[in-house]
Amino acid sequence: MAMRVVRDLDLERYAGRWYEIACFPSTFQPKTGTNTRATYTLNPDGTVKVLNETWTDGRRGHIEGTAWRADPASDEAKLKVRFYVPPFLPIIPVTGDYWVLHIDGDYQYALVGQPSRKYLWILCRQPHMDEAVYNELVERAKEEGYDVSKLRKTAHPDPPPESEESPRDGGMWWIKSIFGK
């Protein structure tokens, strides 16, 4: 089944802070992470700087990467994203798909996945999302062939600091995630 993606995604409007409301658990995110968020910044060359952050036991884990349109001639919201791992010694490039499956007209919430349906994210400009909107996005994911029983909500108990001044975990979250912690 072909996956429907957003057309004519405005990367300038998409840029900014997004909070992870729910996701499929993955090996590259800590299982106990809270206040998980992504910040996208449009670069002059049309690529997007990606900063993913999460907090575990009060410590900030983060990774930076770059995203770009998979096919610059296409109007489909199919992007590629590249991170270098491990975060504490970024030497190995890891590239993945980042497909925007749905976005509301005001660019306040989004559904993001990729063609294998192994990963899925529900994102919002605020750390909390209206339950009716959440359920709509879950239904949309189900229509695209995702097993939505795998979705796990992300806790946002306390707003994290806006700066990078919180204690860092030195990349330990990444090592722990490899071992399923």
Q: What is the pLDDT of residues 112-162, one digit of tens each?
A: 999 999 999 999 999 999 999 999 999 999 999 999 999 999 999 877 666
Question: Poorest-confidence range of 12-16, 97-101, 172-176?
Answer: 172-176
Whole-angstrom distance, CA of residue 65 vs CA of residue 6: 22
Whole-angstrom distance, CA of residue 100 vs CA of residue 77: 5
The domains of the chain are located at 11-153
Judge whether 19 and 123 are in contact, CB under 8 Å: yes
- Beta bridge partners, 81, equal 67, 96
Say what percent of the chain tops pLDDT 70: 88
**Is residue 66 classed as helix, strand or coil in its secondary structure?**
strand
Judge whether 159 and 60 are in contact, CB under 8 Å: no
- Residue 163 tokens read as 């700066």
Q: Which CATH architecture has domain 11-153?
A: Beta Barrel (2.40)
Q: What pLDDT, on the 0 to 100 scale, is given for residue 32?
A: 85
Whole-angstrom distance, CA of residue 101 vs CA of residue 140: 9
Q: What pLDDT, on the 0 to 100 scale, is given for residue 26?
A: 84
